[in-house]
Structure formats: structure tokens, C-alpha cells
Chains A and B, each alone.
Chain A
Amino acid sequence: MTRKIRIATQGIFLFMFLWLFLQTEAKGANELGYPVKIFLDADPLIFITTILSSREWYQTFYLAIVVAVATVVLGRVFCGWICPLGTLNNMISAIRARSRKAVAAGWFRLKYYILIFLVVSSLLSLQLTGIVDPISLLIRSFSIAVYPLVSYATNATFDAFYNTNVSSVVAVSEFFYSGLKKIFLPFQQPFYLESAFVGFLFLLIMGMNLVERRFWCRYLCPLGALLGTLSRYSILKRTVSEGCNSCGACEAVCQGSASPGKKDGWKDTECLYCMNCDDLCNQNAVNFGFQKKTESPGLDLDKRRVVGSILTGIVAVPLLRVTPIARAGVADSKLIRPPGSLDEKEFLRRCVKCGECMKVCITNGLQPTFLEAGLEGIWSPILVPRIGYCEYRCTLCGQVCPTGAIRKLELPEKNKIKIGLAMIDKGRCLPHAHATPCIVCEEVCPTPKKAIWFEETKVKNREGKERILKLPRVDLDLCIGCGVCEAKCPVLGRPAIYVTSIGESRSKENQLLLP
């Protein structure tokens, strides 16, 4: 019975997650209707490590405190009943052949070492949590890989029907297609640079469930480790009565590594409170109830490995940062951060690479980095204007950022923020290099007084005929680096006007003009 309630609860939270994920999309207004980042706000691991790395308090994370307190009272119910990644792992595990032996009984400690590593490095201002935090990982994987993939496959299928040109087929398929477009499909097919990589890692995590049920949750999840640590103090404990005949049925259905088969060896830190052992016990010997005393053996981490994790956490900080790209002028000129991003150092201390900003970006211009921001900044957002520009009156990315790496901006402020500067490649520009009219960059420039102006000049064509030509120029004071000129420049391949991060408001050093 409890098991059924648990499964229903998991379903509700997974559905809620997916629904909110789908709501992380612009509808035309500048505000999103729903609190799409609520799952990240409820993540105590993101909460703690972000506070440590940014040395700032976050009020938005009150839900994370609720989850932490709930864990102290009830144990890892978040893992067993709520976590959407856990639920997905659960679902994949269901197709795995049953009753195989655990891969390695001791591996469950690995996640605690990962947790120690993350906490230590965040204490020293290096925020790597987002890479392995389950909520962040799930949102990123869905945003960058799974959703684009599903959308692509769906579109391709319906395109195939559409292209049959058989009117009855088209009528039926378009009916369903328009329905899917309304409730499920993205407004436009998203494309992301790292989709294959991120998608592969996600599939790997899903596939590991075939090796061992909830492999990720048992052995790797640092949030699980954090909640496991907290659940040491929980008052909801498992007891086994005299009736137990050590049949081992509970051992086979345990979703964690809680060793329920050992009467006194039940590990409260590893129990996901899935209640399988309670439900399936033939002798009705298992009972969960509130009590203070615990017979659980507790966390027996290897001291040398703990020290090793701490040291790795310490060493990682300088190791990832002894790269020249942190220096102004050396940094990748394509490192154009979303508007409202904090100064690069502060930005990296907060960005958890969840990918919500990329999901919500209306032009698809926000893309995950690979190494443009160093290994430390992997999968953090950059604007790639050739893919999509920053819409002048849009502030969505700042609205969904869970940690304030991208500030939430009001429109008047957003309109003044420079994320870079555009420059013209005179060697490729149609008017400049080829005496051909164009001025698309000027047309699309969104600042109220256009940052692209033109100089009228008389040129002679090959036949010696005089014609008036408008040559574009960039007003460096007015240009905000939104990149719409680069996005729309008809000179394909290398564009004739392009944006680099120079001049970005958030940096003191990365400047061109006198202040």
C-alpha cells in the first residue's frame, strides 16, 4: 500500500517537474507564468555550496531549508519520493532483470567522497556542484539534449506525413501535430552545441540502472549523500521484529544500499524510504516508525579517503584556475555572457550549469560552453550570435537563473547593459568591400538611437557609373553587443559584422573605450 502511494507521489512530482520544464518557455510576454526553477530552489546541495562559494545568503532557497529539515525528521524521503531524477532511475531500473547481486557493497561511500570534494572546493570558491547535482543535471540534460531530441524526432515524423502531400493523411497528421505543438513541443526546434555530449552522459546515467538498480542514487549522487548525512538524525526509523526469518526478500527489492536484510545492519543513511521492504515482507516483520534510538551502524567512511577527498577539493581550485584565459584580453573573445551576468569570477562562483537560461532563451542564442570559460565553466551559458542574438526587450534568462549568476533585470537596466561590442569586417561587408547595398545590420539594430549608422559615399562601379552607397559604421558608445546584426548579416560563413565580449558592462578590465 505504502509502495503504491509512494509511486503515485513520485509520478506527481515527475509530472510537476516536466510540466514546469515545459513552462520554461516564452509565450510572448516578458514574464514567465510559473516558478519554473522551484526544483532547484528546493535543492539543499545547490543551496549550501552556492552560499559557500559566493559567500552570500539566498532567500530564494527557503524550500531547500524545508527539504533539509524534512530530511532531518523523515530521512531521505526526498530521494525516494520526490527527486525526478530518482524517479526516472526507478523507471529504468524496472526493466532490469531482478535479483542480481549488488555490484559492490562498499561503493555507496563514493558519493560521500564526491560530496566532500564539492563542499571543500566550494568553500574555496570553486562551484562544480551543478555538474553532478541531480536536479541541475536533469534540467541541463533535458534542456540541451532530451527535449531537443524528442522535438526533432516528433517534427521529423510529422514532416514525413506532411510531405506525402496526400490530403487525408496530412489532415489527420496535422491535427495531431498542432495539438502536440500546443501542449508539448517547443515553439521552434532548439539546437545546442553540447547536446551530444550532455545527452550521452545522461543516457549513461540512465543505462547504469541496468547494471544496478538506481546506480546513480546509490553510488554517485552527491545530493543523496548530503541528505544521507542529514538523515542520520531522522526519527523515522526501520525496525525488524522477531518474526523475520532472514529470507532475504527485502534485500532484493531495496532501492538503496541500505542492507535491509541484516537485522541490525540497516543503514539509515542509505535508505530511500521506498517502503519496498515493508510492503513485500512475507512475515510482516518490517516496520517504519518514529523513534529516537537507532541501531544503525552509521557512516563508516574510510578516513584516508576522506582526507583524499578534502585534498582533491583543495587541489582542484588552483588546478582549474591556472589557465591564462582568466586574464582580460586572453579570454576567449567569444565568451559573451547573458545580460545581467556578474563579473566572470563572481559568475562562475554561482553558475550551476542547470541550463534553464538556455532553455528559456527565445532565440536559442544562449549555448553551453565547452572550454571557452575553462573547465571550471563547462556548460555555462554564452551567447553565440550566429545561432541567436539577445532580444532587446527580453529579460527571461535573469528571471530563471536560480543562483543570481545572471541577475534579474528590469527592462530599463537591461536596455543599457553591454554584453559586448559589434565590429565590422570591412573585407567581407557588402557595401565596404563590394560596393553593394545592404544595411541589414542597421535595420535590425534595436537601440532607440541606432548603434549602427551609415556614411553615404559615392562609388564608381566597374562600368564607371557613379552610385551612392551607404557604408555601415558602429557607434561604440551605443552598441550593446546584442548580436542581432551578426545573426542577420547576409554574409554567410564568417559574418561581416560580429560581436566579441570586449566592452561588456560586467567587466572592469575587458574594455576598449575610455570610461
Chain B
Amino acid sequence: MNRRDFLKAAIVTGISLTVSGNTEMLVGSLDAAEKIDLAVAHGASARGITKAAIDSLGGIKRFIGRGDVVVVKPNIGWDRMPEYAATTNPEVVSTIVKLCYEAGAKQVKVFDRSVVDSRRCYKQSGIADAVTAAGGIMTFVDERRFKDVKLPGLALKSWPIYTEAMEADKIINVPIAKTHGLSTLTLGMKNWMGLMGGSRGRIHQKMDQSLVDVSMFIKPTLVVLDAVRILTGNGPQGGSLSDVKQMNTVIAGTDQVAVDAYGATLFGLKGADLGYVVAGHKAGLGMMDLAKMKIKRINV
């Protein structure tokens, strides 16, 4: 059963169980889900394109239900300001937080196990302020709350993963597109490293497969790839505006591999150029062939 079949089955079951009320909406989102694999929104407003991309997938209510505890996981790995494109665009993050609340979420939590000092990363990235303003709950990662989990992996057999992420009803991955010395690019799957505890430096020894192993375990409700600005050199930390390219784009989808495969094209690469995309495809985690996908492009 692939992801779409599962979704269909789940929604059909949902309909059969739902007596009245929002059946219409569910059918509507079923149609949308059938039509589109990826939504790519382009436009000047980060908020506008984030909303547009999610809307074309069927709207936030397709993903978030009333009373859900939602984790939104941006990349807040570095002590950099938003314009340096080393951390997820704060407006993209806060828009998603707001949308989740509009869909009736009980709590929307935002956190990341930053690479460098998280106080600075949270503040300087602009994400802490934006999320708090949107009503989200911004917390620092508590080292006690990592729990060793068994992974169905080829490279990683077990790893400490953040319990708050595992216990949430829904998790939305909100990475930013950047270059990376070892994995060529860091996109959605690599963003899960922010939920991993322990000494993550060792991951690099088997980077591609490790990322797939973790992504097989943490399955996002939705992936929203921030390409408002992308970092084209000296990634993943950057530091020079000349390495930043304004793309005004947001990509949304539910297939982790597909989103990353599309992300590669932003840098003039193909999904096949990224080891973890290939490995993810092989492992059945998702699709990598963009030609076979239904991609909806929206200009806002």
C-alpha cells in the first residue's frame, strides 16, 4: 500500500464513519489529493505562497484536525539572520502555525535541536519571535526528552529521537533549501536531524542511508520546503549574501522524496543527484521521478 492508497483508504473510512457535516469538504480534499503530488507556489509574499501551496493540496484542513497537537519543524540550526537563508523563513513558519490554529489545532509546537547555541539561533533566525506572535509554542529542546527508538534502518538500527515529535498528532516538516558539503543539498529529509539526539556528527559516515532510515520512521503529515531564499554556496551555514538566491518559491507535498527531488531542481540538479533521494526511492519511501508526478504551479 503506498501513501496515496493509504490516504484514500483512510479518508474513505473517515467518510463512512462520519455521519454528516464536513463530508463535502473531505470529498473535496480527496479530489485535490488525487490530482496533485506537489504544489509549487511562486510570488513575492512568503505568507501568500505558503498558503497558496497548502491550499492547492486541499487546504490545511486536509492535514490538521480539530484538537490536534501539531509539531512544526523548521530548520533553526544556525545563528544567522533570515536574509542569509541558513534557517527557514520565519514568515513561512508563522504562516503554517497560524493555518494550523485556523484548522482547529490545540497546540502548535515549534522546536529544533540547533547545531550551535539555540538561544541565538531561535532569536537571530527571527523564528522565535514570528512563531510566538502567531501563538505557537516555541520551546528549547530538553535533552532529557530524547528516547532511543528502534529504526527499521539499513544504516541506523536505533537512535535517540525527540519524544515531543513522536507524541504529536501531526508533524509538519518545514525545511529550507541549502547546499551542504557532504549531502550536496539539505532539504526535507535532512531536516529531521534536528529531532535526533546524541552525537549527530557520526551520521555523516553513512549520511544518505541514515537520512532515509530516520525519514522512514518520522513520517510527516506535510512537507513545506521554503525556497523563498535559497543558499547556493558555503552551506549549510552560509554567511554571505552573495551566496543567497531569491527564489520566492514554496514547495508543498506529502511525499518526502518527491519534495526533495523537486528541491534539487532549484539548484539545477536532479533528484537522482542526491544520494538520499535515490536511497529513499529505493526504500519505497517515495517517488523521485518528477516526470511522473502531478505538479501544480501557482503564481500568487
Chain A residues with CB under 8 A of B238: 448
Query: Are B181 and A393 interface neighbours, CB within 8 A?
Result: no
Chain B residues in 8 Å Cβ range of A363: 117
**Known contacts A28-B128, A162-B144, A437-B205; is A449 also within 8 Å of B120 by CB?**
no
Looking at A446, A447, A489, the one whose CB has the most chain B CB atoms below 10 A away is A446
Residues A393 and B204 in contact, CB atoms below 8 Å apart: no
User: Could you mark each residue 268-292 of chain A with 1 if its beta carbon is under 8 Å from any beta carbon of chain B, else 0?
Assistant: 0000000000000000000000000
Per the bound structure, the CA–CA distance linking A490 and B201 in Å amounts to 5
Instruction: Indicate whether B215 reaches chain A with its CB closer than 8 angstroms.
Output: no
A-side contacts of B240, CB under 8 Å: 448-449
A28's partner among B119, B182, B206, B234 (CB-CB below 8 A) is B119
Q: Are A159 and B144 in contact (CB under 8 A)?
A: yes
B204→A440 contact, CB < 8 A: yes
Please indicate the chain B residues that have their CB under 8 angstroms from the CB of A393 in the complex.
Answer: 79-80, 120, 124
Do B124 and A489 touch (CB < 8 A)?
A: no
Q: Are B182 and A443 in contact (CB under 8 A)?
A: yes
CA–CA, A449 and B240, complex, Å? 8
Chain A residues whose CB sits within 8 angstroms of the CB of B181 once the complex forms: 439, 442-443, 450, 454, 470
Taken together as a complex, chains A and B put the C-alpha atoms of A406 and B285 apart, in Å, by 53
* Cβ contact within 8 Å between B201 and A489: yes
The yes or no answer to A343 lying at the interface (CB within 8 A) is no
Question: Is B292 an interface residue when CB atoms closer than 8 A count as contact?
Answer: no
User: Which residue on B lies nearest to A155, using beta carbons?
Assistant: B144
Q: Find out whether the CB atom of B116 lies under 8 angstroms from the CB atom of A391.
A: yes
Let me know if B204 and A438 touch, CB within 8 A. yes
Cα distance A430–B205 when bound, in Å? 9
Q: A488 at interface (Cβ–Cβ under 8 A)? A: yes
Say whether B122 faces chain A, with CB atoms less than 8 Å apart: yes
Minimum CB–CB distance from B40 to chain A (whole Å) comes to 28
The residue on B at minimum CB distance from A444 is B115
A444 touching B237, Cβ below 8 Å? yes
Q: Which of A28, A30, A439, A489 contacts B122 (CB 8 A)?
A: A28
Indicate if the CB atoms of B202 and A490 lie closer than 8 Å: yes
Roughly how many angstroms separate A449 CA and B117 CA in the complex, as a whole number?
Answer: 21
Please determine whether A470 and B182 come into contact, CB atoms closer than 8 angstroms: yes
- Compute how far the CA of A390 lies from the CA of B236 in the bound complex, rounded to whole angstroms: 18
A436 within 8 A of B: yes
Q: Complex Cα distance A449/B241, Å?
A: 11
A58 within 8 A of B: no
- Find out whether the CB atom of A394 lies under 8 angstroms from the CB atom of B120: yes
B contact residues, range: 20 to 34
Residue A55 CB within 8 A of the other chain: no
Instruction: Decide: A26 and B120 in contact? CB cutoff 8 A.
Output: yes
Q: Cα distance A393–B121 when bound, in Å?
A: 11
Do the beta carbons of A27 and B123 come within 8 Å of each other? Answer: yes
Do the beta carbons of B120 and A448 come within 8 Å of each other?
A: no
Kindly list chain B residues whose C-beta atoms are within 8 Å of the C-beta of A450. 181, 234
Any chain B CB within 8 A of the CB of A362? Answer: yes
- B120/A362 in contact, CB under 8 A: yes
- Name A429-476 residues within 8 Å CB distance of B: 430, 436-440, 442-450, 454, 470
The closest CB in chain B to the CB of A487 belongs to B116
B84-127, CB under 8 A of A: which get 1 and which 0? 00000000000000000000000000000001110110111000
Q: Tell whether A484 is near chain B: CB-to-CB under 8 Å.
A: yes
Task: Answer whether residue A183 sits at the interface, using C-beta atoms and an 8 A cutoff.
Answer: no
Q: Is the CB of A437 within 8 A of B124?
A: no
Residues of B within 8 A of A391 (CB): 79, 116-117, 120
Residues of B120-164 at the interface with A, using a CB-CB cut-off of 8 Å, are: 120, 122-124, 128, 140, 144
**CB-nearest residue of chain B to A363:** B117
Q: Please state if B205 and A436 are interface contacts (CB–CB under 8 Å).
A: yes
The residues of A that contact B122 with a CB separation of less than 8 Å are 28
Complex CA gap A128/B122 in Å reads: 40
Q: How would you classify the secondary structure of chain A's contact residues: helix, strand, loop or mixed?
A: loop
- Give the residue name and chain of the B residue nearest to A446 (CB): B237
A440 CA to B201 CA, complexed, in Å? 6
Nearest-Cβ distance from residue B266 to partner chain A, whole angstroms: 20
A60-B117 Cα distance, complex, nearest whole Å: 30
Kindly provide the distance from the CB of B169 to the nearest chain A CB, expressed in whole angstroms.
19
Determine if B207 is an interface residue (Cβ-Cβ < 8 Å). Answer: yes
Chain B residues contacting A29 (CB-CB under 8 Å) are 123
Contact of A187 with B by CB under 8 A: yes
Residues on A with beta carbons closer than 8 Å to the beta carbon of B120: 26, 28, 30, 362, 391, 393-394
A233 within 8 A of B: no
Query: Cβ of A392 < 8 Å from any Cβ of B?
Result: yes
* Cα-based distance from A438 to B122 in the complex (angstroms): 27
B124-A449 in contact (CB<8A): no
Give CA–CA (A489, B239) in the complex, Å: 21
Scan B49-72; emit 1 where CB is below 8 A from any A CB, else 0: 000000000000000000000000
The CA of A484 and the CA of B120, in the complex, are separated in Å by 15
What residues of A have a CB within 8 angstroms of the CB of B128 in the complex? Answer: 28
CA distance A489 to B240 in the complex (A): 24
* B287 CB → nearest A CB, Å: 27
For A438, give its contact among B115, B116, B205 (CB under 8 Å): B205
- Report the separation of the CA atoms of residues A32 and B171 in the bound assembly, to the nearest whole angstrom: 35
Pick from B119, B201, B239: contact of A362, CB under 8 Å:
B119
| Nearest CB of A to B199, in Å | 6
A472, closest chain B residue (CB): B181
Q: Report how far A392 CA is from B238 CA in the complex, Å.
A: 12
Task: Write the A374-412 contact mask toward B (1 if CB under 8 angstroms, else 0).
Answer: 000000000000000001111000000000000000000
Contact present for A26 and B144 (CB under 8 Å) = no
Interface centre among B80, B120, B236, B240 (most CB of A within 10 A): B120
Write the nearest CB–CB distance from A145 to chain B, whole angstroms: 23
CB-nearest residue of chain A to B120: A28
Whether, in the assembled complex, B270 has its beta carbon less than 8 Å from a beta carbon of chain A, the answer is no
A448 touching B234 in the complex, CB below 8 Å, given contacts A439-B181, A490-B201:
yes
- Decide if B245 is an interface residue (CB 8 Å cutoff): no
Max chain A Cβ within 10 angstroms of own Cβ: one of B124, B128, B201, B206: B201
Report the bound CA distance from A11 to B203 in whole Å.
Answer: 52
A437–B237 touching, CB < 8 Å: no
A28–chain B nearest beta-carbon distance, Å? 3
Asked whether B180 is an interface residue with its Cβ less than 8 Å from the other chain, the reply is yes
Cβ–Cβ < 8 Å partners of A437 in chain B: 182, 204-207
In the complex, which residue of chain A has the Cβ closest to the Cβ of B208? A437
Closest Cβ of chain B to A450, distance in Å, is 5
- Known A362-B119, A437-B204, A449-B240; contact A443-B234, beta-carbon cutoff 8 A: no
Binding site for A on B (CB under 8 A): 79-80, 115-117, 119-120, 122-124, 128, 140, 144, 180-182, 199, 201-202, 204-207, 234, 236-240, 243
15 contacts between A and B (CB under 8 A): A27-B123, A28-B119, A28-B120, A362-B117, A391-B79, A438-B201, A439-B181, A440-B201, A442-B181, A443-B181, A443-B237, A444-B115, A448-B234, A490-B199, A490-B202
* A-B contacts besides A438-B204, A439-B181, A447-B239, 9 pairs, CB < 8 Å: A26-B119, A28-B122, A391-B79, A394-B117, A438-B182, A443-B236, A446-B237, A449-B234, A490-B202
